[in-house]
Amino acid sequence: MVDLLNVHPVLLCGGSGTRLWPLSRQSYPKQFTRLIGNQSLFQASALRTLAEGFAAPVVVTGDSFRFIVLEQLAAVEMSPAAVLIEPDGRNTAPAVLVAALWLIQQDPEAVMLVSASDHVIPDDAAFREAVMAAVPSALEGKLVTFGIQPTRPETGYGYLELGEGCSAEANDPQPLRRFVEKPNAERAALMLQSGNFLWNAGIFLFTARAVLDAFKIHAPELLEHGGAALAEATRDLSFTRLAPEPWSKLENISIDYAIMEKATNLVVMPYRAGWSDLGGWEAVWQETGPDETGNVVSEHATAIACSGSLLRSEAPGVELVGIGLEDMIAVAMPDAVLVAKRADAQRVKDAVAALKERGAKQAGAFPTELRPWGSSERIAGGERFQVNHVVVKPGGVLALQSHLHRSEHWIVVQGTARVTIDDETRLVGESQSVYIPLGAPHRMENPGKVPLVLIEVQTGGYLDEDDIVRLEEVYGPATD
C-alpha cells in the first residue's frame, strides 16, 4: 500500500494575471482574488490538498505577496510547511527546482505535487483520487504530468499527445508521446476529434529525487545556481529568502521547456472531472455558470434585456447596469471599468499595456494597498490633499516614520489606536482625532482585539508614498 504521507503540495504563487484586469493586477494578482465562490483561488488550491495523505504546502512566491500568502492561509486555518521567497520571477523551472531542493532536505523520499495556485478544479475529491492513482508511477521514478480531457477545440492551451494504443479514458498514467504547442483553430479541432490529445494543465507529480536527477541531466546550470540560491538563503520571520546573487544567474524558463520536453521518463495522468486555468474573463463567464439567458451577474450589477454577458461590480458603492448587451463583458472597480466583447477577452492585456504606457497607476496597482499590518485605500484626493480609509489589524504596528512634505490627521472610526508622536504616546478612541505635524516621528499601533478603522487626511505639497522616512521597521523594508 502506498504511503501518501509523503505527498507534498508545492503551490507556485507568482504571476501578474493581466488578462483578468481590472480585478487582477500586478500588486494583487488573480490567485488572491475571489473570482469564483467565497475563497480566493489560492485558498481553494491549498484546501484541495487538506486531506489525509498530504503534507502542509510549500509555497513559492514573490516578496510583495509573502504576507498575503500567510494571511489567506490563516483565514482557512492552514499553515505552510515553508514559504520560499523569489528575489524576482524566473518562471516555473527555477521555482520547482528550489522547492525540490528544500523538500529533499526534509524528506529524501518526498513526492511533490506541483501546481499553479490560480486554477479552478471544481471536484477536489476527484482530483485527490487522480493524484493517488498517479503516486505509484511517481515512486517508480516517472515524471507525471496531468492531462485534462478537452471539451472544446481550445487554442489557448498546449496539448499532450498520448502514446500509440493509450487511452484518454484511462484511470492510471499513460505513456506520453509528445508535447504540442498551442494550435490554430483547425489543428485544435482535429486533435479534439482524434481523442488522443489532452490539455496540458501544468500540474506535475514526481519525487524530489527524480526531478533533481532530471535537472542534473537536462539543466545542470539551473541546478548549480538554484542550489546556491537556497544554500545562501536567509531567514526572515517565517520566510526563506532565496539569495539574490545566484538567483539572478538563473535562466527565465518554464519547467516544460527546461525538463519535461527533454525527459524520456514521462507519463500523463488523464483527468476528466473539470479544470480551468481561468485565463480570462471568458473563462470566468464559463466557469461561473451563465443563467438561462446566458448572463453572469454579480451583486451590485443589473442586466436588462441582456444575453450572453458578464456584468460584475467589485465596488459596493458602484451599481453597474447593462441594457441590451449581447456577448459583452463589463467589470467595474472603484478606480477602473472594463467594457469589452466576450470574443475580445484575451485583448485585456493590451489594455494593461496601454495604461502602463500612459503611466496610469491602475495598470498595476490595486485600489486597496495591502500591508502586513492591514490595508489603506484612497477614497478622495486633490491638489495638496488626500483622504485614505485605513484598517489596522489587532496587534498591527506601523513603522516609526516621519514625512518631509506632509502633515496628517487621523480620525478613529472604530477601535482604539496607540499613537506615538515624538516622545509622547497616548490612546486615541472612537470619534477622537490626532494631528501629526510635518517632520514629527510617529507610529500607530492597534493594541485592541478588534480592527482599528480610521480616516487619514494628508495635506501638503507632495503626497506620494516615497515621502516616508522610515526610522524603525517592523515587518521588513518598505512593507510598513
Question: Residue 149: enclosing H or E segment and its boundaries?
Answer: none
**Which pLDDT score is estimated for 2?**
44
* DSSP character string of 239-295: EEE--HHHHTTS----HIIIIITT-SSEEEEEE-S--B---SHHHHHHHH---TTS-
**Which pLDDT score is estimated for 346?**
87
**Which pLDDT score is estimated for 367?**
85
**Which pLDDT score is estimated for 317?**
86
What does the alpha-carbon distance between residue 115 and residue 96 come to, in Å, rounded to a whole number? 10
Of 369, 367, 411, 375, whose CA–CA distance to 393 is shortest?
375
**Which pLDDT score is estimated for 3?**
45
**Which pLDDT score is estimated for 316?**
83
367: preceding bond cis by omega (within 30 degrees): no
Q: For helices 220-231 and 92-106, give the axis angle rounded to 10 degrees.
A: 60
Q: At 115, list the grid cell.
A: 501546481
Cβ neighbours of residue 222 closer than 8 Å, sequence gap 6 or more: 93, 94, 97, 215, 250, 251, 253, 258
C-alpha torsion sign, points 372, 62, 113, 101: negative
User: Tens digit of pLDDT per residue, the chain (480 long)?
Assistant: 344 457 999 999 987 778 999 999 988 899 999 999 889 999 999 999 999 999 999 999 999 899 999 999 999 999 999 999 999 999 999 999 999 999 999 999 999 999 999 999 999 999 999 999 999 999 999 999 999 999 899 888 899 999 888 888 899 999 999 999 999 999 999 999 988 999 999 999 999 999 999 999 999 999 999 999 999 999 988 899 999 999 999 999 999 999 999 999 999 999 999 999 998 999 999 999 999 999 999 999 999 999 999 999 998 889 999 999 999 999 999 999 999 999 999 899 999 999 999 999 999 988 888 888 999 999 888 999 999 999 999 999 999 999 999 999 999 999 999 999 999 999 999 999 999 999 999 999 999 999 999 999 999 999 888 889 989 888 765 555
